[in-house]
């Protein structure tokens, strides 16, 4: 009794014409077979003609059956899932649990270009710190790292030393009691007292919303599908 090896494989989704279906099917079956058994050398390569012929026969069988069951198979996108079985030398023994899924190409959305705007509305960050506590330095480093990961150009960043006269005045204005503290967008409701990195990053990233400039989208309905859809509903 021959020892069998097997593997579940699937093709990419391709257009429903025969050449596209055949290319995806044979590339998946023969490509996986080659990668899996090429180390067998001569024992594997002597199966080449057998594997190619069997793969082509199965491909033709599946496509011909689909043509019989569909009004116009070129209106569909196709994806194939199957389990492939080989002997120890990489000779294809059988295909099992084959499923070819049909997707209707109902329409197409086309957008020529979408650009990210270079100039965004800045996020303002005010850091209140002192020179005598290590937590202030750690928070400063976290803020700078986050701004660098997003892009410094998207921020207005200010530091206020509460031991200085000006820093003390600004802190009193916003009601800052402890250091280090940050305020985002000059909003007292977005005041964070010595936040951990996750909290800080979440608050800042939630406010960072890149704006885009898009060309006018064009959406077209596939008019050729109407007879196919009517046929499907009639059969069901």
Write the CATH number for 85. Answer: 3.30.470.50
d(CA 222, CA 171) in angstroms, rounded, equals 62
pLDDT, tens digit (0-9, with 9 covering 90-100), for 122-159: 899 999 999 888 999 999 999 999 999 888 888 999 99
Do 96 and 122 belong to one domain? no
Side-chain-facing half-sphere of 44: CA atoms under 13 Å = 14
Do 101 and 133 belong to one domain? no
Domain-located, residue 147: yes
Do 41 and 20 belong to one domain? yes
Do 135 and 80 belong to one domain? no
- Domain enclosing residue 173, as ranges: 115-213
CA dist list (Å): 8 to 22, 23, 65, 103:
18, 18, 22, 21
Domain-located, residue 221: no
Domain-located, residue 233: no
Do 45 and 127 belong to one domain? no
Do 102 and 15 belong to one domain? yes
Dihedral angle over CA of 9, 13, 16, 17, nearest 10: -80
Do 164 and 189 belong to one domain? yes
Domain count, the chain: 2
d(CA 25, CA 184) in angstroms, rounded, equals 55
What confidence tier does 120 reach under pLDDT thresholds 50, 70, 90? low
Hey, which bits of the chain come out as E strands? 5-10, 14-15, 76-86, 92-104, 107-110, 114-116, 123-129, 155-161, 181-184, 191-193, 212-214, 218-221
Q: What percent of the chain has pLDDT over 90?
A: 64
- Beta-carbon contacts of 32 under 8 Å, excluding residues fewer than 6 positions away, are 7, 9, 84
CA dist list (Å): 62 to 32, 175, 227:
19, 74, 23
pLDDT surpassing 80 at residue 108? no
What confidence tier does 1 reach under pLDDT thresholds 50, 70, 90? very low
Domain-located, residue 97: yes
Do 72 and 155 belong to one domain? no
d(CA 223, CA 190) in angstroms, rounded, equals 53
What pTM does this model have?
A: 0.54
Strands 5-10, 212-214: pairing is: unpaired
Do 80 and 120 belong to one domain? no
Do 98 and 53 belong to one domain? yes
If one compares 37 and 113, the residue with the highest pLDDT of the two is 37
Domain-located, residue 77: yes
What confidence tier does 70 reach under pLDDT thresholds 50, 70, 90? confident
d(CA 134, CA 141) in angstroms, rounded, equals 11
**Lowest pLDDT segment from 52-61, 77-86, 202-211:** 202-211
Domain-located, residue 228: no
Do 126 and 148 belong to one domain? yes
């Amino acid at each position: 009794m021959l020892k069998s090896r097997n593997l579940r494989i699937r093709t990419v989704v391709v257009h429903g014409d025969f050449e596209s279906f055949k290319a995806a099917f044979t590339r998946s079956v023969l490509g996986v077979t080659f990668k899996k058994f090429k180390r067998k050398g001569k024992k594997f390569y002597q199966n080449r003609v057998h594997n190619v012929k069997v793969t082509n026969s199965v491909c033709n069988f599946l496509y011909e059956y689909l043509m019989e069951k569909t009004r116009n198979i070129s209106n569909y996108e196709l994806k194939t899932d199957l389990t492939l079985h080989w002997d120890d030398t990489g000779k294809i023994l059988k295909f099992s649990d084959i499923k070819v899924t049909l997707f209707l190409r109902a329409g197409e959305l086309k957008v020529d270009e979408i650009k990210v705007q270079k100039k965004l509305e800045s996020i303002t960050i005010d850091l209140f710190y002192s020179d005598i506590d290590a937590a202030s330095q750690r928070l400063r480093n976290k803020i700078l790292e986050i701004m660098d990961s997003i892009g410094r150009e998207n921020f207005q960043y200010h530091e206020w030393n509460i031991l200085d006269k000006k820093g003390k005045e600004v802190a009193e204005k916003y009601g800052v009691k402890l250091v280090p503290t940050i305020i985002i967008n000059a909003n007292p409701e977005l005041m964070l007292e010595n936040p951990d990195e996750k909290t800080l990053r979440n608050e800042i990233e939630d406010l960072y919303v890149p704006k885009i400039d898009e060309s006018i989208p064009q959406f077209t309905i596939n008019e050729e599908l109407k007879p196919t859809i009517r046929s499907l509903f009639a059969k069901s």
